[in-house]
Structure 1
Amino acid sequence: MNTIKALVVDDTIVYRKIVGDALKQMPGIEVVGTANNGKVALSKIKTLKPDLITLDIEMPEMNGIELLQELQNMDSPPLVIMVSTLTHQGGALTLRALELGAFDVLPKPEDGKMAENMLKIQKNLEPIVRHVKRHKFGIIDPPARLKAAVAFPDRVSHSPAKPRPAGIRSKSEIIGIGISTGGPNALTKMIPMLPKDLKVPVLIVQHMPPVFTASLADSLNKKSALEVIEAKDGDIIKPGKVFIAPGGKQMKIVAGADGLTRKIKITDDPPENSCKPSADYLFRSIAQHYVGRSTGVIMTGMGADGSKGLVQMKNNGSFIIAQDEKTCIVYGMPKEPIESGIVDIIAPLEKIADEIVKTV
């Protein structure tokens, strides 16, 4: 039987019940145990050998961070999903957890009835469980038609994308990035590689809950030559600055009152592709306001958010860069743009910053 074994780790019995019930509602999932701290969890991981664990951060005896450090010594550790409270301290610790190999992060529901919270957790866990099943049972996605070619020593592949419309400028004046699962670690490697004298703004949609995006911006700002901030409504889009869409909101570009400047608009518009923020939402506005002078970048993540927006950018003369399959934690978001032929460059993570610089 194609069954995924799961272990629920949390020091609060209420959350062990909520998360456990959410997993039990999914076909092909067996909750093999629970643990109220990392020390108990470590023992159960060794004996029960779960495929997936949900993990709280703040626990007695051994917390989630310490457990993740122990899991790094295992040959085949389970996939770890952080279920964390929406606080600034929790956000910083969750980023540390992602650096230590946690696959993704889900927010703990903090209000509502238990049944409602169980459904929220279940909805967030379902795509992750599908991903685990695909990998455990060898269900491989169809290969992309265009992959980073072995013939290129730097592993950067130039896809046969359509030429730009005549008369459209080739140098980009803005960079838009869409990224999801595996994104914090990928951005931690890529953003510091962008030079201090980059003379264009960078706008990023990273699929994360509220508060966590502020922690991500703070972390990247400390590591990067460029200033990195969580975007606020009304921010003027300035060259050499990196704006991260706030979790739980949508981010787009609007024209300033003078008709020359461009500003960031933060809205509470509905999710797109079950994502808020959504890369499609941002990319459409870039296509509208930067015709023929923008670069779209699509990176690691589950799902297909960003694909439709990139088509609009491409149709308006944008240059498109996609992360290659080998360096993606999850080869979901780049897959469709690559297969559809709209991508100009397919690059490994370590080459994406260089490819961005070339477009500006």
Structure 2
Amino acid sequence: MATKIRVLIVDDSAMMRRMIKNILETDAEIEVVGTARDGEDALVKARESRPDVVTLDVNMPVMDGLTCLVHLLEEQPDIEVVMLSSLTQEGALTTFEALELGAFDFVGKPSGTVSANLYIVGKEIIAKVKAAAKHRRRNKRKAERPVRPSPSLLSGAVKRTAAGETSGVAPVVVVIGVSTGGPGTLMEILPKLPADLKAGVIVVQHMPPMFTASFAQRLDAYCRLPFSEARSGDRLFAGRGFVAPGGMHLVLRKSSATGEVLLRLTQSPADALFIPSVDVTMRSALEVYGRKMVGVLLTGMGSDGAEAMVAVRKAGGITIAEDESTAVVFGMPREAIERGGASVIAPAHKIAEEIVKAVKRVAME
């Protein structure tokens, strides 16, 4: 019989602790080994129960979630932490700090710190706890977690001229799809892209509304390319990046009057499993760019983007999938590889280099 995933629940609300426990215990592979009401209580309970995964509330008295996270990872570096945060601007900023400090991933509480409708994201909580446990097993010898420098430390690397931000209509488009484990992986890849990249870059990260704007701001602070959350009517320039907003699909359209490539936001198809959808964006980009396209599929659960990667490769574009050796969750890239949709397979630390090479190749064809 397989060993169950041992989970410690940390939340200052008794109702939230009870609801999270009820949700997790619907899965036979998960065992809740304890609950804690604040950060200090969590540290004591973690020492006693030695959990595999901790679900950690952000806003708590006595010791907040971020402080608790730092202490947890110092004391038990092989533990995995899934943050539970409110879907607000403040919640987003704190969550990204937690991810930089070493949290595995996050789930947004649908209606604030105390969410009576938490069951709406129940499947997501279970899926991310299980993904975190799998990641822990793959990294048992992990003694240290890399702490990325703050954006201020990279200020010299991201200075830009106004002209460099809009260096002409993009002759090539790079569409990057990513889900669970994505923010950390993207922070490893995107800052390495050069400011003079002769392509527009679009990132489709499965992330709720309110979080994508904050995430785009953090990418903008880290990267040589300017990044922003996409809006309808934005023009796709070379050397510029956009993040698809949560809750909307991002599609590309070419203006018949000017020849410019414009971004459009839509809620269609409404029945897509993920909104934004990697498949939707990649397919629309393929319609506009054809073989002048680079598709990239990174860590994530499920298969979003896999079919579009196949189509891009068949059309003559270049497709890059993250290798299993670095993927936090080898779901989406594995699907692309198994379906024949990856012309290049590379670990995360080499993907920026592969993107640059691919852009140069398709630009010359």
Shorter-chain-normalised TM-score: which range?
Answer: 0.7 to 0.9
Please say if residues 310 and 340 of structure 2, whose CA atoms lie closer than 8 Å, have aligned partners that are also in contact.
no
CA contact (8 A) 2:6 2:52 kept: yes
Shift in Å at residue 192 of structure 1? Answer: 1.0
Q: For 1:134 and 1:272, how far apart are their aligned partners in 2? A: 29
Stretch moving more, 8-17 or 198-207:
8-17
Distance 1:12 1:131 in 2: 25
Contact kept? 2:10, 2:38, Cα under 8 Å: yes
Structure whose residues are more often helix by fraction: 2
Aligned partners of 1:298 and 1:323 also within 8 Å? yes
Alpha-carbon distance in structure 1 between the residues aligned to 2:354 and 2:222: 20
TM-score (norm 1): 0.84
Q: Secondary structure at the match of 1:330?
A: coil
Root-mean-square deviation (Å): 2.3
Q: CA deviation at 1:341?
A: 3.0
Partners of 1:122 and 1:107 lie apart in 2 by 11
Q: 1:111-160: per-residue Cα shift (whole Å, max 9, x none)?
A: 8x977x2421312123224435656789xxxxxxxxxxxxxxxxxxxxxx
Partner of 1:332: 331
Tell me the percent identity. 40
Equivalent-residue separation in structure 1 for 2:326 and 2:243 (angstroms):
22
Q: Secondary structure at the match of 1:131?
A: helix
Amino acid across the alignment from 2:19: I
Q: In 2 relative to 1, CA 271–62 (structure 1 residues): closer, same or farther, beyond 3 Å?
A: farther
Which residue of 2 is the match for residue 95 of structure 1?
96
Q: Which amino acid aligns with 1:357?
A: V
Residue 234 of structure 2 corresponds to residue 243 of structure 1: no
Q: How does 1:78-89 map to 2 (within 5 A)?
A: 78-89=79-90
Residue of structure 1 equivalent to 2:23: 22
Q: Which amino acid aligns with 1:11?
A: D
2:297–2:320 CA contact under 8 A, matched in 1: yes
Secondary structure class of the residue paired with 1:72: helix
- In the alignment, structure 1 residue 44 sits paired with structure 2 residue 45: yes
Query: Within the alignment, does 1:346 sit opposite 2:356 as a pair?
Result: no
CA contact (8 A) 1:22 1:121 kept: no
Which string of whole-angstrom CA distances, capped at 9 and with x for unpartnered residues, describes residues 276-308 of structure 1?
111111111111111110000111112211101
2:318 aligned partner = 319
1:41 aligns to what SS in structure 2? helix
Residue equivalent to 1:301: 300
Residues in 2 aligned to 1:114 and 1:215: alpha-carbon distance in whole angstroms: 22
Question: Contact conserved, 2:81 with 2:132, CA < 8 A, in 1?
Answer: no
| 1:2-81 aligned within 5 A | 2=2, 3-81=4-82
In 1, are the aligned partners of 2:52 and 2:133 still within 8 Å (CA)? no
Give the count of matched residue pairs: 326
User: What residue in structure 1 maps to residue 213 of structure 2?
Assistant: 214
Specify the alignment match of 1:154 in structure 2.
none
Output the CA distance in 2 between the equivalents of 1:222 and 1:213: 14
CA separation of 1:58 and 1:230: change in aligned 2, threshold 3 A: same
Determine helix, strand or coil for the equivalent of 1:126. helix
Distance between the aligned counterparts of 1:22 and 1:109, measured in 2? 15
| C-alpha distance in structure 2 between counterparts of 1:49 and 1:211, whole Å | 34
Contact 1:19 1:121 in 2 (8 A): no
Question: Match of 2:336, SS?
Answer: helix
**Amino acid of the residue matched to residue 89 of structure 2?**
H
Does structure 2 retain, via aligned residues, the 8 Å contact 1:174–1:200? yes
In 1, the alpha carbon distance for the partners of 2:123 and 2:287 equals 33
Deviation at 1:180, TM superposition (A): 1.2
CA distance in 2, matches of 1:192, 1:114: 36
With over 3 angstroms needed to count, the CA separation of the structure-2 counterparts of 1:352 and 1:241, relative to structure 1, is same
SS in structure 2 opposite 1:334? helix
Task: Report the secondary structure of 2:74's partner residue.
Answer: coil
- TM-score in terms of structure 2 length: 0.83
- CA distance in 2: counterparts of 1:254 and 1:90, whole angstroms: 33
Structural mapping, 1:174-253, within 5 Å:
174-253=173-252
- Show the 5 A alignment for 1:129-140: 129-131=129-131
Shift of 1:200: 1.2
After superposition, what is the alpha-carbon deviation per residue over 1:22-53, rounded to whole angstroms, capped at 9, x for unaligned? 11222232222221211101110110122222
Report if the CA contact (8 A) 2:104-2:132 is conserved. Answer: no
The answer for the alignment partner of 2:127 in structure 1 is 127
